[in-house]
Amino acid sequence: MAGLVVVGGGAAGLMAALFAARTGAPVSLLEGSRACGLKILISGGGRCNLLPMASDPSDFFTTGSRNVLKRLFRTWRLEDVTSFFAEDLGIALRFEEESGKVFPASQSAKAVRNRLVEAVIEAGAEIRTSHRVEAIEPDGEGFELEVGHAGETRRLRADRVVLAAGGQSLPKTGSDGSAFRLATALGHSLTPRHPALVPLRSPDPELRALAGIAVPVRWQARVHGKLVEERERELLFTHRGVSGPAILDASHWVVRDGATLRVAWAGLDEEGWRRHAEAESRKRIDQRLSDLLPRRLSELLLARAGIPGRTRVVQLHPKQWRRLLPLLAAFELPIDGDEGYAKAEVTSGGVPLSEVKPSTLESRCSAGLFLCGEVFDVIGRMGGFNFLWAWVTGRLAGESAAASLARA
């Protein structure tokens, strides 16, 4: 085989193979699953939120250097990635102003995956599906790969390798953490890994009984009392706890750092809630809360504050306000676990950014190896940011690996 081998045909690997092959390099992509891009197919509820409309480094989390992150995103700016999909790949895009997300106009994740695979083949790369890389060993000039296919193990040579085998979330898509095993065998270390963008479990049966209800909230994550992040998004109650964009975005703080989560229902602080209630002070408090919150949630909050729903706002005693306002504006969510990798959209942690050269994504541990995508200790928020990371790093790793091969 030799030439350049891309290990993994997800978002990052397809982009790496495409850009490497466009330079004229001989490129083979080895994908362990029966098809490339299984995660793209299920992304965005089958619609594929392939990019955000706007992005800055605060949309990403890494335990490594934020300067390196910024530098990497400067290699392919969001507007150029967007026009690449629209103009180069010819995928008509739909910009959803209210959510700030970009989808294909066709609303079809399959169309995006198919167009990417087609572009990789058009560029001249060879794709081998059901080829699972079991081991990668440096052999002086390049690498020898052990590849499982149809029940047999073969050995293949590669002059350059791009490791794009993802993380370990949703292992049934093929990303079962083998990227981490392959990277460590080549000398890399790993930061601790956790499920991220993951629904959380709650021990509170009254909250779980609200399953199916969605509420806009302003959430705050606090680690040892210190505020680490605060944003406004929607929370969804589930049969096991809480989910929705607010919780998925906040989950990594809880899972990794044991953060506590506080929510301000409807995004209002104590003063905002009091002003809202008193704007029509002759009305019952349950009516005023239900104007902004689902009825069953307002009933629960009033019950916890020990206030009968029929109490008129004007009749509320200062003691009752003191019990009610923190429940409305700083409700601490009881959390006792997460739904694990089987439900997580991404893996937090992985290969530290400090172990690659930021200008090329070439490994500092193993010359000729390039890395991209979720294998790194980087995650993005919900909203197309994780694909943005995969596209940007995939392109850089693919082009750099091809340039390195051309120089050899």
Ligand X SMILES: Cc1cc2nc3c(=O)[nH]c(=O)nc-3n(C[C@H](O)[C@H](O)[C@H](O)COP(=O)(O)OP(=O)(O)OC[C@H]3O[C@@H](n4cnc5c(N)ncnc54)[C@H](O)[C@@H]3O)c2cc1C
Q: How far apart, in whole angstroms, are the C-alpha atoms of residue 335 and residue 301? A: 18
CB atoms within 10 A of CB 108: 17
* Least gap, CB of 274 to ligand X (angstroms): 38
Of 49 and 298, CB closest to ligand X: 49
Smallest separation, CB 73 to ligand X (Å) = 14
Q: Of 285 and 375, which has the nearer Cβ to ligand X?
A: 375
Contact 371, 396 (CB under 8 A): no
Rule CB under 6 A: is residue 347 a binding residue for ligand X?
no
Under the binding rule (CB under 6 A), the answer on residue 9 touching ligand X is: yes
Measured in degrees and rounded to the nearest 5, phi and psi for residue 117 equal -60, -45
CB of 398 to ligand X, least distance (A): 12
Q: Which of positions 133-192 make contact with ligand X (CB under 6 A)? A: 133, 164-166, 169-170, 174-175, 178-179
231 within 8 A of 249, measured Cβ to Cβ: yes
Taking the least distance from each CB to ligand X, the nearer of 242 and 388 is 388
Min. distance of Cβ 397 from ligand X in angstroms? Answer: 10
Q: Out of 12, 120, 261, 324, name the contact with ligand X by CB under 6 A.
A: 12
Q: Which of 21, 27, 39, 331 binds ligand X (CB under 6 A)?
A: 39
Shortest distance in whole angstroms from residue 255 CB to ligand X? 15
Shortest separation between residue 37's beta carbon and ligand X, angstroms: 6
Residues in 99-138 at the binding interface with ligand X, rule: CB under 6 A: 132-133
Reduced to 3 states (helix: H, G, I; strand: E, B; else coil), residue 141 is coil
DSSP per residue, 17-48:
HHHHHHTT--EEEE-SSSSS-HHHHHGGGGT-
CB within 8 Å of 408: residues ≥ 6 apart = 159
Residue 7 interacts with ligand X (CB under 6 A): yes or no: yes
Angle at the Cα of 160 from the Cα atoms of 358 and 129, rounded to 5 degrees:
110
Size of interface with ligand X, in residues (CB under 6 A): 38
Which residue number, 55 or 298, has a Cβ lying nearer to ligand X? 55
Q: Is 398 in the site for ligand X (CB under 6 A)?
A: no
- Asked if 49 touches ligand X (CB under 6 A), the answer is yes
**Residue 261 vs 372, nearer CB to ligand X:** 372
Cβ within 8 Å of residue 125, ≥6 positions away: 6, 17, 18, 20, 21, 27, 28, 29
Q: Which stretch binds ligand X (CB under 6 A): 72-80, 210-218, 279-287, 383-391?
A: 383-391
Toward ligand X, which CB reaches closer, 191 or 311?
191
- The piece of 80-88, 209-217, 276-284, 385-393 that touches ligand X (CB under 6 A) is 385-393
DSSP single-letter state for residue 197:
S
Binds ligand X (CB under 6 A): choice among 3, 32, 244, 245: 32
Cα–Cα separations (whole angstroms), residue 161 to 68, 108, 139, 166, 364: 22, 31, 12, 15, 14
How far apart CA 236 and CA 211 sit, in angstroms, is: 7
Verify binding: residue 13, ligand X, rule CB under 6 A: yes
Q: Are 338 and 201 in contact (CB under 8 A)?
A: yes
- 362 near ligand X, rule: CB under 6 A: no
| Residue 387 touching ligand X (CB under 6 A) | yes
Options 1, 2, 42, 228; binder of ligand X; rule CB under 6 A: 42
H/E stretch holding 162 = strand 160-163
Report residue 67 as tokens: 């300067």
- Euclidean distance between CA atoms 6 and 87, whole angstroms: 25
Q: Based on the number of CB atoms within 10 Å of its own CB, is 79 exposed (0-12), middle (13-18) or buried (19 or more)? A: exposed
List interacting residues with ligand X (CB under 6 A): 7-13, 30-33, 38-39, 42-44, 48-49, 132-133, 164-166, 169-170, 174-175, 178-179, 345-346, 373-374, 384-387, 390
